[in-house]
């Protein structure tokens, strides 16, 4: 098992990525929205995985910062979809709650990497 697979934040990011895939398969959004949301959700998960392979805390931290930025990007896209009535309030809140949890976990990890 790879180290990143043991991280709770990775597991939550992977679950979010799967939710996004399901959302995109059920609804037809414009090509840009589909592509951006798919890529941003993958970016969270993949940057956590890649960062865990780095040897220095500084390198690990950089990947976690990028992953957190991608979580914010997903949140912005979901907010846009909600405000344009493309997703329901409950769906928006569920997805953004997941992102908020991932973001907080990444923030804690980033602060921990700063100290070491």
Q: What is the CATH number of the domain that holds 38?
A: 1.20.1440.60
Q: What is the tally of structural domains in the chain?
A: 1
pTM: 0.94
pLDDT, greater one: 94 or 114: 94
User: What mean pLDDT, rounded, does the chain reach?
Assistant: 96
**What's the CA gap between 28 and 74, in Å, rounded?**
17
- Average pLDDT of span 64-86: 97
**What's the CA gap between 105 and 41, in Å, rounded?**
16
**What's the CA gap between 48 and 24, in Å, rounded?**
23
* 22, 101 contact by CB (below 8 A): no
pLDDT tens-digit map of 44-70: 999 999 999 999 999 999 999 999 999
Domain range for residue 11? 3-115
Tell me the two tokens of residue 38.
């798919």
**What's the CA gap between 59 and 79, in Å, rounded?**
31
The percent of residues in the chain predicted with pLDDT above 90, rounded, is: 93
- pLDDT value of residue 1: 77
């Amino acid at each position: 098992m790879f180290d990143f697979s043991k991280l709770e934040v990775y597991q939550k990011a992977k679950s979010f990525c799967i939710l996004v895939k399901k959302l995109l398969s059920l609804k037809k959004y414009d090509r840009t929205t589909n592509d951006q949301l798919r890529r941003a959700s993958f970016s969270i998960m993949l940057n956590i995985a890649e960062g865990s392979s780095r040897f220095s805390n500084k390198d690990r931290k950089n990947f976690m910062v990028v992953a957190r930025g991608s979580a914010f990007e997903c949140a912005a896209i979901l907010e846009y979809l909600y405000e344009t009535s493309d997703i329901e309030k409950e769906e928006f809140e569920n997805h953004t709650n997941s992102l908020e949890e991932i973001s907080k976990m990444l923030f804690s990890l980033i602060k921990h990497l700063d100290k070491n």
